[in-house]
């Protein structure tokens, strides 16, 4: 009050009109007529508010294309396993166990690297992680086309799998640029690129395999990776990651660039930075707020991959056998599948193409469900329908029911890709997806020995294993503690706990009023 002593009370009001005092910090106990809350000339906004204000536009469409190419590459490398292994079985006279190891070694590489790529993404950035893993996959994907013997194909395909373990981080990057209303639909539509990659791989095999052989197929399957490598210089870093790392200026520049591309504007005021120095730690997934969610998400990813890749491998094996269940001489005995050395025929490729096209109706069905009934129920329904149709494969037309079963499991996995980045905060989002993907690779690592080895001994036992797995996935989806439909992305573990405190009666009003106060 030194000014008051010198100029009098009128002098205070005179100076206040020309030199308005700065706003007090949030939580300040200063209350007077000179500092009326809220302060209209010091606005702030959060990353979530900025992303919502900018909206979905040209930038997100370009990002969809680029991350979609990464998805196509992943799908082609996975579909390649079920197409190339029958020819390798015949050319190198491999037993069923050795054929299964070719598939399993890829998933082993993915299992080992998924958490590592997630840690890199949370610590050093989504862009760095995605570019490194895609270039790694391109390098060893091309080298594997020159594998001279069985041992070399194992080593090189394992290294390809190591690179593919980082492919799910494209979803992490993509999710963090999406507004809430379009997030679920956009990530599901990203699955269209996966379906296109799988279909393109079958069409490519129909042309290449009968004439040039499996080595050329492996080489041509890297084409999407070449496209990604040529375009990755445009890929931006996640603004959410930059804010969490304390680089508000860089995040704001990214937001302004996106707003200019979309023909919109960034909110006025100062960007609130919710920094967190410790990121990408697996132990943060097991704090009390996330422990149950983490374990259930792992179960869901395991069941999805185990069932999906099991069905993909079973498709070629059953088509080669001539029918789903060939009855033996004694009608009371369990049916057996004769899996001798047979090259895939043109008819086999057509059947494989039809079942691969099931990815598209699966995606469309999921689009209809995901925002209407929520993420949890959508996953549960997909698991349950898959188990019903998969259990009746031996009783009806093979191609039709494999088609429906694949549509169901595809939809369920796409919902898991939506739910996982939504449920974890930015500080652990990549490691959450990475560990989930790692558990998926455990399932994919086991499934060749069921689909390609156990099938030789017992069709009914093989189908029973997948049926039990999907019922487990159904239960895990229903008991998830959190529904993420309509929920904003959290930035840090601290913001998540604050969000839970606000989710009480009148919590939304409290949150709204606090966001309008001064920083």
Helices 223-231 and 58-91, packing angle to 10 deg: 150
pLDDT value of residue 510: 34
Residue 448 covered by a domain: yes
Tens of pLDDT along 125-149?
888 889 999 999 999 999 988 888 8
CA 205 from centre of chain: 26
Does pLDDT of 331 surpass 70?
no
Q: Do the beta carbons of residue 389 and residue 467 sit within 8 Å? A: no
Tens of pLDDT along 443-484?
888 887 887 778 777 777 888 888 888 899 999 999 998 888
Higher pLDDT, 247 or 512: 247
Residues 302 and 228 in one domain: no
CA 467 from centre of chain: 24
Does pLDDT of 504 surpass 80?
no
Does pLDDT of 351 surpass 70?
yes
Does pLDDT of 516 surpass 80?
no
Q: Do the beta carbons of residue 185 and residue 64 sit within 8 Å? A: no
Q: Tokens 């890929």, residue?
A: 235
Q: How far apart are CA 435 and CA 340, in angstroms?
A: 37
pLDDT value of residue 489: 77
Does pLDDT of 300 surpass 90?
yes
Question: Which range, 91-105, 214-228, 231-245, 452-466, is most confident?
Answer: 214-228
Does pLDDT of 6 surpass 60?
no
Three-state SS at 331: coil
Residues 288 and 242 in one domain: no
Does pLDDT of 10 surpass 50?
no
Query: Residue 254: which of 234, 230, 231, 278 has the closest Cα?
Result: 234
Number of domains in the chain: 2
Residues 267 and 291 in one domain: no
- The mean of the pLDDT values for the chain is 77
Handedness of CA 342, 153, 459, 76 (dihedral sign): negative
End-to-end CA distance of the chain: 25
Q: Is 41 left (phi over 0), alpha (psi -120 to 50) or beta?
A: alpha
Domain span at residue 260 reads 43-274
Residues 164 and 311 in one domain: no
Higher pLDDT, 339 or 469: 469
Does pLDDT of 197 surpass 60?
yes
Q: Do the beta carbons of residue 421 and residue 432 sit within 8 Å? A: yes
Q: How far apart are CA 193 and CA 60, in angstroms?
A: 15
Question: Which range, 5-19, 267-281, 361-375, 493-507, is most confident?
Answer: 361-375
Residue 506 covered by a domain: no
Residues 222 and 294 in one domain: no
- Buried-state track 368-390, b at ≥16 Cβ within 10 A, e below 16: ebbbeebbbbbbbbbbbbbbebb
pLDDT value of residue 474: 92
Q: Tokens 């999710």, residue?
A: 175
Query: Residue 386: which of 372, 371, 405 has the closest Cα?
Result: 405
Burial class (CB in 10 A: 0-12, 13-18, 19+), 5: exposed
Query: Residue 294: which of 115, 71, 469, 124 has the closest Cα?
Result: 115
Residues 270 and 288 in one domain: no
> What are the Cα distances from residue 20, in Å, to 4, 15, 42, 189, 495?
15, 8, 12, 51, 32
Query: Residue 213: which of 309, 349, 78, 343 has the closest Cα?
Result: 343
> What are the Cα distances from residue 350, in Å, to 85, 180, 199, 353, 357?
17, 40, 11, 5, 11
Residue 10 covered by a domain: no
pLDDT value of residue 234: 84
Residue 509 covered by a domain: no
- For the ranges 53-57, 111-115, 414-418, 454-458, the lowest mean pLDDT is seen at 454-458
Residues 370 and 451 in one domain: yes
The enclosing H or E element of 270 equals: strand 270-271
Tens of pLDDT along 167-191?
888 888 888 888 888 888 888 888 8
Residue 335 covered by a domain: no
Residue 220 covered by a domain: yes
Domain containing residue 357: CATH number: 1.20.1250.20
Does pLDDT of 123 surpass 60?
yes
Query: Residue 434: which of 245, 167, 63, 190 has the closest Cα?
Result: 167
DSSP 282: G
pLDDT value of residue 502: 46
Tens of pLDDT along 44-53?
777 788 888 8
Residues 391 and 286 in one domain: yes
pLDDT value of residue 226: 92
> What are the Cα distances from residue 365, in Å, to 362, 369, 370, 404, 412?
5, 6, 9, 11, 10
Q: How far apart are CA 361 and CA 165, in angstroms?
A: 27
Higher pLDDT, 337 or 404: 404
Three-state SS across 39-59?
Answer: CCCCCEECHHHHHHHHCCCHH
Report, in angstroms and rounded to the nearest whole number, the Rg of the chain calculated over CA atoms.
27
Bond preceding residue 38 cis, omega within 30 of 0: yes
User: What number of other Cβ atoms are within 10 A of residue 132's Cβ?
Assistant: 17
- For the ranges 171-180, 216-225, 319-328, the lowest mean pLDDT is seen at 319-328
User: What number of other Cβ atoms are within 10 A of residue 111's Cβ?
Assistant: 23
Residue 473 covered by a domain: yes
pLDDT value of residue 159: 93
pLDDT value of residue 241: 85
Q: How far apart are CA 489 and CA 480, in angstroms?
A: 17
Residue 12 covered by a domain: no
pLDDT value of residue 231: 86
Q: Name the pTM for this structure.
A: 0.72
- Mean pLDDT computed over 6-16: 41
pLDDT value of residue 280: 60
Q: How far apart are CA 258 and CA 241, in angstroms?
A: 15
Does pLDDT of 271 surpass 60?
yes
Q: How far apart are CA 361 and CA 273, in angstroms?
A: 42
Residues 183 and 62 in one domain: yes
Residues 270 and 286 in one domain: no
Residues 268 and 295 in one domain: no
Residues 311 and 437 in one domain: yes
Tens of pLDDT along 362-409?
888 888 888 888 888 988 998 888 887 766 665 555 667 777 788 888
């Amino acid at each position: 009050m030194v000014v008051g002593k010198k100029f009098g009370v009128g002098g205070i009001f005179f100076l206040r009109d020309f030199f308005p005092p700065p706003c007090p910090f949030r939580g300040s106990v200063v209350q007077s007529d000179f500092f009326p809350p809220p302060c209209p000339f010091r606005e702030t906004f959060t990353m979530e508010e900025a992303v919502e204000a900018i909206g979905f536009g040209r930038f997100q469409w370009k990002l969809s294309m680029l991350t979609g190419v990464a998805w196509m590459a992943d799908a082609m490398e996975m579909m390649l396993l079920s197409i190339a292994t029958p020819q390798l079985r015949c050319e190198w006279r491999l037993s069923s166990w050795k054929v299964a190891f070719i598939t399993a070694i890829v998933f082993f590489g993915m299992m080992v690297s998924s958490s590592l790529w997630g840690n890199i993404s949370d610590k050093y950035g989504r862009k760095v992680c995605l570019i490194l893993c895609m270039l790694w996959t391109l390098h060893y994907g091309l080298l594997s086309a020159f594998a001279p013997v069985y041992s070399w194909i194992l080593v090189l395909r394992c290294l390809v799998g190591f690179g593919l373990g980082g492919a799910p981080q494209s979803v992490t990057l993509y999710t963090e640029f999406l507004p809430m209303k379009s997030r679920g639909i956009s990530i599901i539509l990203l699955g269209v690129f996966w379906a296109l990659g799988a279909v393109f791989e079958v069409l490519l095999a129909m042309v290449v395999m009968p004439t040039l052989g499996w080595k050329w197929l492996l080489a041509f399957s890297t084409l999407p990776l070449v496209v990604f490598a040529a375009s990755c210089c445009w890929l931006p870093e996640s603004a959410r990651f930059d804010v969490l790392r304390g680089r508000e200026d860089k995040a704001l520049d990214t937001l302004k660039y996106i707003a200019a591309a979309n023909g919109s504007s960034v909110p006025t005021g100062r960007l609130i930075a919710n920094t967190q120095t410790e990121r990408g730690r697996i132990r943060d997934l097991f704090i009390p707020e996330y422990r149950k969610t983490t374990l259930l998400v792992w179960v869901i990813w395991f069941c999805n991959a185990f069932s999906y890749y099991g069905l993909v491998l079973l498709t070629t094996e059953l088509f080669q056998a001539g029918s789903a269940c060939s009855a033996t001489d004694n009608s009371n005995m369990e049916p057996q599948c004769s899996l001798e050395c047979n090259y895939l025929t043109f008819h086999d490729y057509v059947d494989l193409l039809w079942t691969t096209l099931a990815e598209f109706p699966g995606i469309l069905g999921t689009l209809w469900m995901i925002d209407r009934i929520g993420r949890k129920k959508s996953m549960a329904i997909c698991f349950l329908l898959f188990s019903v149709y998969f259990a009746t494969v031996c009783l009806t037309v093979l191609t039709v029911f494999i088609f429906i079963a694949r549509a169901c499991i595809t939809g369920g996995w796409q919902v898991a890709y939506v739910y996982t980045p939504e449920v974890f905060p930015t500080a652990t989002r990549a490691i959450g997806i990475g560990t989930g993907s790692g558990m998926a690779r455990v399932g994919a690592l086991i499934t060749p020995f069921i689909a390609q080895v156990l099938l030789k001994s017992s069709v009914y036992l093989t189908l029973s294993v997948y049926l039990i797995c999907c019922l487990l996935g159904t239960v895990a989806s229903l008991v998830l503690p959190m529904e993420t439909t309509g929920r904003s992305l959290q930035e840090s573990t601290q913001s998540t706990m604050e969000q839970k405190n606000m989710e009480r009666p009148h919590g939304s009003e409290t949150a709204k009023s606090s966001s309008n106060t001064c920083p």
